[in-house]
Structure 1
Amino acid sequence: MPIVTPGGGYQPRLTNVEPTLGAGWGGNGVVLVCDDTESIRRLLRINLELDGFEVLEACDGASAIALLRALQLEDRLPDVILLDAHMAPLDGWWALSEIRSCPRLSRIPVVMATADTVCEDKAAMLARGLDACVQKPFDPEAVVDLVAGFVREGRAHVPQLK
Structure 2
Amino acid sequence: MIEEYLYEMITLVVILTSLLLYFLLITQFKQENKKVLETIHLSESYELSGEEEGSFDTTSPPFEKEGTTVHTSPRKKKIKKVKVPAHGKIHKENFKDFSGIKILVAEDNIINQEVIRGLLADSGIQITMADNGQVALDILEKNADFDIILMDVHMPIVDGFQATRRIRADSKYEHIIVVALSGDTAADDITKMKTSGMEEYLEKPLRMDAFYDILYAYTKEESQLSEFVEVIMTKELNGDQGLHVCGGDDEFYKDILHEFIQSYTNSPQKLSDLLDRNKTYLADSMLLDFIGITANIGALNISKIALELKKAIKDTEEKSYSIILEEYKLHLEILVRDIKEYIQ
Scaled by the length of structure 1, the TM-score of the pair is 0.69
Q: Which residue of 2 aligns with 1:83?
A: 151
Counterpart CA distance in 2 for 1:18 and 1:141 is 10
Q: How does 1:1-162 map to 2 (within 5 A)?
A: 19=96, 27-72=99-144, 77-117=145-185, 124-152=192-220
Instruction: Give the CA RMSD over aligned residues.
Output: 3.2
Q: Deviations over 1:120-155 (max 9, x none)?
A: 7765544321111111222145323322332226xx
Deviation of 1:19 (Å): 3.1
Deviation sequence 1:10-54 (CA, Å, 0-9, x none): 76669897838xxxxx94300011100011111112222343211
In the alignment, the residues of structure 2 paired with residue 57 and residue 98 of structure 1 have an alpha-carbon distance, to the nearest angstrom, of 18
Matches of 1:61 and 1:89, distance apart in 2: 7
Q: CA separation of 1:17/1:143 partners in 2, compared to 1, >3 Å: closer, same or farther?
A: closer
1:120–1:45 distance in 2 versus 1, CA, 3 Å: farther
Structure 1 residues 95 and 143: CA distance shift in structure 2, 3 A: same
Greater mean deviation of Cα atoms: 41-50 or 130-139: 41-50
Q: Are the equivalent residues in 1 in contact too, given 2:153–2:182 (CA < 8 A)?
A: yes
Aligned equivalents of 1:46 and 1:134: distance in 2?
17
Tell which deviates more after alignment, 40-49 or 56-65. 40-49
**Aligned-residue identity in percent:** 25
**Does the aligned pair in 1 maintain the 2:133–2:163 contact within 8 Å?**
yes
Unaligned runs of 5+ in 2: 1-80, 222-344
Change (3 A) 1:138 1:121: same
Identify, as 1 or 2, the structure richer in strand: 1
1:10, 1:114 → 2: CA distance?
Answer: 23
Long gaps (5+) in structure 1: 1-6, 21-25, 154-162
The answer to whether the Cα contact below 8 Å between 1:11 and 1:149 also exists between their aligned partners in 2 is: no
SS where residue 19 of structure 1 aligns? Answer: helix
Larger Rg: 2
Report the residue type matching 1:134 in the other structure. Answer: L
Determine the C-alpha separation between the residues in 2 that align with 1:13 and 1:28. 22
- CA distance 1:127–1:140, shift in 2 (3 Å): same
| Aligned residue type for 1:19 | K
Q: 1:63 to 1:11 in 2, by over 3 A?
A: farther
